[in-house]
A and B are shown apart, each in its own frame.
Chain A
Amino acid sequence: MTIESTAIVGPGLDHGLLGHATRHLIHCPPSWDHFLLEAPSSREERFLLTGDTPSAHPLFNDGPGHFHDPQLVTEAVQEIGGFVGHQYFGVPEDRPGLFYRFGLGVTEVAAWRAGRGPARMTTELRATPANTVNGVPRGMDFHLEVSLDDVPCATGTASLVFVMPGLHRRQVAHSRWAVQATPELADEPAGPVRPVDPGAVGRDSAANVVVSEPTQASHGRLSTWVLLRRDNPVLGATADGHLAGTLLMESLRQASVVTAGRAVGLVPERAMLASCEVHFRGYAEADLPVRCATVPGPIGRDAAGRPTVPVTLTLTQNRRTVAEARTTVVQDF
């Protein structure tokens, strides 16, 4: 991995905070030294993020409401990842933290079933500095353990890089130039695209649908387009003209659910992602279409006997890979 070519997902703070109740982020220092002297840490630090799940979030509370959305975890890590680096590991404030890898595995599906009110979500984060140069880490690795109402229910990992401002600008410019300099690789929809029905991706609002009606390719493969919702603050573009992380993550979720539904008939209303591993490989420009290709795997069952479908996904823009992902869709009644 090189920092220059892989860091592409901005923190999306503005989106992540919407609809959330007040939460606490607690730093539990293994040693008080750096805390007391306000010197940056050079080893693992532990944090707890706790608070109620949102009850009026425009995206995560849109749908039949059978489950809490596991994307809340990735949102939370995006929200505080950069802050932790700046506050506790001495990363200069002008270096934004950009995520390039996420992994989340649900360990207890039942805990994600939503009750009448919000649940108390606690995420334990163990943060370790990576690639430290002159005492300043260029990246961070996170290990996550999630509980809902005190029931451990998911574990995960996340990695981010801190990019120096000048380098970041050059990288953005180069990325844009590289995409536009190869018109022979252009990849666009053949005609107008039509969003899928909200119910097919587990949402109620058409404004939250971010994938188009898929077309069938060979061997059960599907191809769909990611839809930028400029009218929706949660699923829009960042100030520097890239697709927001939340939009990309939601497009992967929706494409997974559509694929599992079309391939083996899982009911979208009762489907959630039991696992998700995403590796971002480049920026997604807001003014170019993004194709999402999906390949369903054979249907299986989890330890409790629930049907599961693995899905492999690739996001491309002008035939250049933006992200690769593997997900597992589980159906739970």
Chain B
Amino acid sequence: MRFRILGPMEIEGSAGPGVLHTPQAAKLRVVLGTLLVRANQVVSVESLVTELWREEPPRTATATLHVYVSQLRKLLDAVDPARGRELLHTQPPGYRLSLTPDLLDLTAFEELYRLGREAMADGRYRRAADLQRRAIALWRGPLLSDTPHGPLLEGAAAQLAEAGGAALDQRIRADLELGRHHELIAELRSLAAEHPLREELHGHLMLALYRAGRQAEALQAFAELRKMLVAELAIEPGPPLQRLHRRILAGDPGLLRTAAETGSAETVREDADGTASLGIAAGTALPAADPVFTGRGAALAQVEELLRNAPAGSFVAVAGQPGVGKTAFALEVAHRSGPYFPDGRLFLDLQPEPGRPLPATKAISTLLRRRGVRLAHGAGAGELHDAWQEQLTDRQLLLVLDNADSEAQLRPLLPTTAGSSAIVTARRLPAGLGGIRPVLLDALDPEEARLLFTAAVGPEREAAEPAAVRELLELCGGLPLAVRVAAAQLTARPHWSVASLVDRLRDERFRLGELRIGELDTRAPLLRAYQDARPELRRAFRLLGLLPAGPFGRAAAGAVLGLSPAGTTRLLDGLVDDRLLVAGDRAGCQLPELLRVLAVERLAEEESPQDIGDAIERLCAEYARAAGQVAAVLTHARPSGDEPHEPAAWFTRERDALVRAVRQAHGAGRWTAAVRLVAALDGHLETHAAWGAWAETHALALDAARRCGDRAAEARTLRSLGDLAWQQRRLEEAEEHYGLARRIAEETGHRTELSRALVGLAELRMDAGDGAAADALLTAALAADPGPGDPRARFDVLRALGFHALSAGDHARAHTRFTACLDLARTLHDRRLESFARRALRTARSGPGHRLEVRPGVWRLHERRPLPEPAF
């Protein structure tokens, strides 16, 4: 029994290839085709119904589907009476067709394609060409070309058409490496005509023509392609093709070199077996350098210098966060270092599949094979090691070992003798190995990111939307992978503006999902790095997502982690080692932008709301502590030693983080934490006149106080909102807030807030020139004075009384009041109030002008003389 779907559907039964059992009914072919494309997977009834009738299923859709399935079972029974009926299972929520790989051409294709790619990566070009040729031969036409396609089959057809194209591309590449350029030219001409927009086919044709000595025709092929692209799409050929064009124009002899000629792989000797044989010594097996690689000038120079003067046994280890471009960097260095390694340069991916590192023996076998060395089957580790070291001895070889996993994996591969060297890329530095020369790659700076972006998409986008490009690169955090993805998206969708892409990326909940196109996926390597970390580091990483973008201090980190300073330092160091965190200067550490976005994602996915709420509460408590400490340092001039650095700049530096923490606490329903933090911020908000932050935090705190029934906090917050409105001269609003604060303070017997609210109301009356009303309110405020327990409230009453006396012309009384203020400020050890009281005393002596400092730092500007009669 065989099923063939790579073309029209064909079902071959036990009677042999002469008898086909393909169903005549189209609907039946749809059901069977869908089950075959998803072989060994459950296809839901819903999917099958959509596949059959799209958006308009009949009322009897499910029943009809049952009939089709029943007919299919009969068909399968007829195809193979022995076991046909057993292949189709009913399994909620749908059906599953169980097939062994040999029964379906699709699975055979996928297996051949995979093996072909592996052979290609190993440099076994003859085998690669053979496997891909066999894979392509399975195609008889478009997928299920005789069957109507619903959404599922449409998607599968598009995906498999791409895979078919990739198999063809691999086969041609392998043939080119085998020196079969003459035979390829006709086929490539035909393919290029059939697929005029597939630039890689044109590139292969140009290369084949060049190698066949037909340089002019190669250039003509480029000119024709360019002409067509400009005429049809108004675009130039892509960077790889332009680079190839330049090399042909320059007559680059490197283009003529095939693997067969250099002998860098087993091209000619792969059939030799049984006995060890030495291959040709020289040869280079490096993937092409990234055509748009830009920047990193200083690091490139450093590594080139290290490689040129590498002592025996040393190697360069390139480390950095996922997606930072370690492999591209290593390849760029390797390509530039050719003259220093005349015996060849070899590249090996030590982790070709995520999570499955190559064992050292397998890695050595591959490297030996690329050098043309074949050992007897079953050679032991010692034998392999000796053969490899023999290859390195007295030669000048450069190894590029990509994605190193562990020191144990690397140790046997590294050269130990002078002349040869290695560039190793790894997320974690293999610091335990001797001879390591570490190079850490960071995200690109804004200018380097801009250069990479323009190299990838051309200069027009940047010229047209410079501000949007700047924001885009910031949203990508300067991470080369993300910049490349963004560039690829804009190239693939010319109708998108940069601003529209920026709009999609602004919401960090969707950013990583948006930064993906084709096989380029920004999230995947970041997620792998996260998943590779130890569980305690993963938890720490997630919780750090609660902190805002930018540098954060160890105290804030310790708060969200709920750990002691020592425990926090240990975890932060672990995250830095795993390249999930960047260690900063005194300002603290920082999550690279896209890793921070990942942390936010993981936090929501993996932490319970309870744990998140607890962490937010700890963070709020830490911020409140810091706010109090900074205020104490600034007003008392008494450094405690563990206050935040540069305390005078603390509030400005942390303002956004503080507002965010209040928002988080409110969002998590941690009312008390929100209320306490906002209370601690009161003085800072007032002194800095941070009106936006003041209004937002206090609106949240007021709601929180009401929700948790904290009446004292409600009165305090309302009074502070009154102060804000007073400062802004929204006098009606101020009156309303002070009035509400007064009422609640009276109801709850909160004398401090009652006193301060009455002072606020009195100042409003003074502002309006209503001395009698102000007098009554200040008398009430004095009566509500909580006494020596709260000198701050008493200071305010006396301050207002002083200005009230001053406005009434009673300078002596004003002097007395301000003297009392000065005494209280000294009791409070508050330099700010003390300084203010001294200035007020000077005013009492000299008399008020038209400018009066009525609260610390707030000047009331009055009219100085009456208005003249209007002249109109």
- B648 with A33: CB separation less than 8 A: yes
- A19 with B835: CB separation less than 8 A: no
User: Which of B851-872 touch A at CB < 8 Å?
Assistant: 851, 857-865, 867-868, 870-872
- B729 with A28: CB separation less than 8 A: no
Report 17 cross-chain contacts, Cβ distance below 8 Å, ordered by A residue: A17-B864, A22-B767, A23-B860, A24-B858, A24-B859, A25-B859, A26-B727, A26-B858, A31-B648, A32-B635, A32-B832, A36-B634, A48-B689, A58-B867, A62-B872, A122-B728, A207-B871
Most buried by B among A14, A19, A22, A56: A22
With a cutoff of 8 Å between Cβ atoms, the chain B residues found around residue A18 in the complex are 863, 865, 867-868
Please, how many angstroms separate the alpha-carbon atoms of A24 and B767 in the complex? 11
Please, how many angstroms separate the alpha-carbon atoms of A32 and B835 in the complex? 11
Q: Mark A203-231, 1 if CB is under 8 A from B, else 0.
A: 01101100000000000000000000001
> Does A301 have its Cβ within 8 Å of any Cβ on chain B?
no
Q: Mark B817-839, 1 if CB is under 8 A from A, else 0.
A: 00000000000000110110011
- A208 with B687: CB separation less than 8 A: no
> Does A261 have its Cβ within 8 Å of any Cβ on chain B?
no
- B864 with A19: CB separation less than 8 A: no
Distance (whole angstroms) from the CB of B197 to the closest CB of chain A:
40
> Does A30 have its Cβ within 8 Å of any Cβ on chain B?
yes
> Does B393 have its Cβ within 8 Å of any Cβ on chain A?
no
- B730 with A120: CB separation less than 8 A: yes
- A38 with B835: CB separation less than 8 A: yes
Distance (whole angstroms) from the CB of A44 to the closest CB of chain B:
12
With a cutoff of 8 Å between Cβ atoms, the chain A residues found around residue B865 in the complex are 14, 17-18
Please, how many angstroms separate the alpha-carbon atoms of A52 and B864 in the complex? 17
- A19 with B867: CB separation less than 8 A: yes
- A56 with B835: CB separation less than 8 A: no
Distance (whole angstroms) from the CB of A121 to the closest CB of chain B:
10
With a cutoff of 8 Å between Cβ atoms, the chain B residues found around residue A26 in the complex are 689, 727, 857-859
> Does A20 have its Cβ within 8 Å of any Cβ on chain B?
yes
- B871 with A208: CB separation less than 8 A: yes
Given contacts A24-B729, A32-B634, A38-B835, 19 further A-B contacts (CB under 8 A): A19-B867, A20-B861, A22-B861, A22-B862, A23-B861, A24-B859, A25-B851, A25-B858, A26-B689, A27-B857, A30-B649, A30-B652, A32-B648, A32-B831, A32-B832, A36-B834, A38-B839, A50-B729, A56-B870
With a cutoff of 8 Å between Cβ atoms, the chain B residues found around residue A208 in the complex are 871-872
Please, how many angstroms separate the alpha-carbon atoms of A50 and B767 in the complex? 15
> Does A51 have its Cβ within 8 Å of any Cβ on chain B?
yes
With a cutoff of 8 Å between Cβ atoms, the chain A residues found around residue B634 in the complex are 32, 36
Distance (whole angstroms) from the CB of A328 to the closest CB of chain B:
23
Q: How many residues of B contact A (CB 8 A)?
A: 37
With a cutoff of 8 Å between Cβ atoms, the chain B residues found around residue A122 in the complex are 728
User: Which of A120-142 touch B at CB < 8 Å?
Assistant: 120, 122
Cross-chain pair count, CB within 8 angstroms: 112
With a cutoff of 8 Å between Cβ atoms, the chain A residues found around residue B857 in the complex are 26-29, 35
What is the interface of chain A mostly: helix, strand, loop, or mixed? mixed
CB-CB nearest 5 A-B residue pairs: A205-B872, A207-B871, A31-B648, A25-B859, A36-B831
Please, how many angstroms separate the alpha-carbon atoms of A26 and B649 in the complex? 18
- A58 with B870: CB separation less than 8 A: yes
- A51 with B861: CB separation less than 8 A: yes
Distance (whole angstroms) from the CB of B392 to the closest CB of chain A:
61
- A204 with B871: CB separation less than 8 A: no
- B687 with A24: CB separation less than 8 A: no
- A83 with B851: CB separation less than 8 A: yes
With a cutoff of 8 Å between Cβ atoms, the chain A residues found around residue B743 in the complex are none
- B730 with A24: CB separation less than 8 A: no
With a cutoff of 8 Å between Cβ atoms, the chain B residues found around residue A92 in the complex are none
Please, how many angstroms separate the alpha-carbon atoms of A62 and B871 in the complex? 9
- A28 with B687: CB separation less than 8 A: yes
User: Which of A173-211 touch B at CB < 8 Å?
Assistant: 204-205, 207-208
Please, how many angstroms separate the alpha-carbon atoms of A80 and B859 in the complex? 11
> Does A37 have its Cβ within 8 Å of any Cβ on chain B?
yes
Distance (whole angstroms) from the CB of A109 to the closest CB of chain B:
22
Please, how many angstroms separate the alpha-carbon atoms of A122 and B692 in the complex? 13
Please, how many angstroms separate the alpha-carbon atoms of A324 and B791 in the complex? 57
> Does A232 have its Cβ within 8 Å of any Cβ on chain B?
yes
Please, how many angstroms separate the alpha-carbon atoms of A27 and B863 in the complex? 20
> Does A233 have its Cβ within 8 Å of any Cβ on chain B?
yes
Given contacts A28-B688, A28-B689, A38-B839, contact A17 B863 (CB under 8 A): yes
With a cutoff of 8 Å between Cβ atoms, the chain B residues found around residue A30 in the complex are 648-649, 652
Distance (whole angstroms) from the CB of B608 to the closest CB of chain A:
40
With a cutoff of 8 Å between Cβ atoms, the chain B residues found around residue A20 in the complex are 861, 863
User: Which of A1-56 touch B at CB < 8 Å?
Assistant: 13-14, 17-20, 22-33, 35-38, 48-52, 56
Please, how many angstroms separate the alpha-carbon atoms of A27 and B864 in the complex? 21
Given contacts A58-B870, A62-B872, contact A36 B835 (CB under 8 A): yes
- B868 with A233: CB separation less than 8 A: yes
CB nearest neighbor in A for B728:
A50
Please, how many angstroms separate the alpha-carbon atoms of A120 and B867 in the complex? 21
